[in-house]
Amino acid sequence: MVPIAIAAIVLSAITLFFLKQEKTKEIQAEKPGIVVPMAYAEWAPIFGDINAPKQVLIFSDNTCGFCNKFWSEQFAEVKKRFIDTGKCYLIWYDVSSAKDELPLAAFLAGAHEQGKSEQAIELLFKRGSRVQQPEFNSIAVQLGMDTVALANYLANPLLKDGMKKHFEYGKLCGVKGTPSFVIQGRLYSGFMDINEFERRLAFEEEKPEDNQGVKGKAVSALPDAR
């Protein structure tokens, strides 16, 4: 009886292993470009195709001069050279108003839903001051958004929890200031020009000799994406 019992346990373990492997393959096939778990990417503007081979996260504050500088001087070129060409996709996290009932990040997600995220970010950087929920509607009007659709979007009971996850994820990544970038699981803080962005996007851990001068803190505490 003992050998039979042992054989049954081994067979069960093998079956469970292959089932788990198959499930992992399904998840990878569905979202092959995802590094950050989707639970932390929902409700955030995403630029580009999430099936692109590399992922970039930006943690930004619309009152931050260096965030503004990156947006106004570098983002268009980043989008043209790396996002539109399918080399990476970018998730934009606004962390400017974490204590608000509905932070500005919620408004940006609503703007993204209507294809207005770039216009919204542009306007908010030009404004350069804290923006809170009572002002969302007037800004939406300026952008030509559907204010009824926006109100319905912001009324979603799941939205607040999604916003909390954005800030939680920033903490997990070790973000302490803006702008901060997480490129393929490595955290970089401070302003980044197009040349530096390209160098860090191309960085490969196993070939540091090909990327002299590229440094970044490996984000090892992140939840497993797969």
**DSSP-H helix ranges across the chain:** 2-30, 65-70, 76-78, 104-113, 117-127, 136-142, 147-154, 159-173, 194-201
Q: Which distant-in-sequence residues (6+ apart) come within 8 Å of 215 by Cβ? A: none
Q: How many domains does the chain have?
A: 2
Q: What does the chain come to in residues? A: 226
Same domain as 81, residue 18: no
Domain span at residue 110 reads: 35-218
Same domain as 114, residue 24: no
Q: Report which of residues 220 and 156 the model is more confident about.
A: 156
Answer whether residue 225 is part of any domain: no
140 token code pair: 């939406």
Same domain as 58, residue 11: no
Residue 57 forms beta bridges with which residues? 91, 182
- The total of other beta-carbon atoms located within 10 Å of residue 198's CB is 16
| 152-193 per-position pLDDT tens digit | 999 999 998 888 888 888 888 889 999 999 998 889 999 999
What is the per-residue pLDDT for 23? 30
Model confidence band, residue 30 (pLDDT cutoffs 50, 70, 90): very low
Same domain as 88, residue 26: no
Same domain as 84, residue 57: yes
Evaluated on CA atoms 137, 138, 140, 144, the torsion sign reads positive
| 185-219 per-position pLDDT tens digit | 889 999 999 999 999 999 754 444 443 344 455 45
- The total of other beta-carbon atoms located within 10 Å of residue 37's CB is 16
Average pLDDT, the chain: 78
Angle between helix 104-113 and helix 147-154 axes, rounded to 10 deg:
130
- The total of other beta-carbon atoms located within 10 Å of residue 90's CB is 21
Same domain as 12, residue 80: no
Mean pLDDT of 8-29: 36
Same domain as 202, residue 123: yes
71 phi, psi to nearest 5 deg: -65, -50
Which among 26-40, 138-152, 157-171 has the top mean pLDDT? 138-152
Residue 47 forms beta bridges with which residues? 90
pTM of the model: 0.75
What is the per-residue pLDDT for 220? 44
Model confidence band, residue 101 (pLDDT cutoffs 50, 70, 90): confident
Same domain as 9, residue 117: no
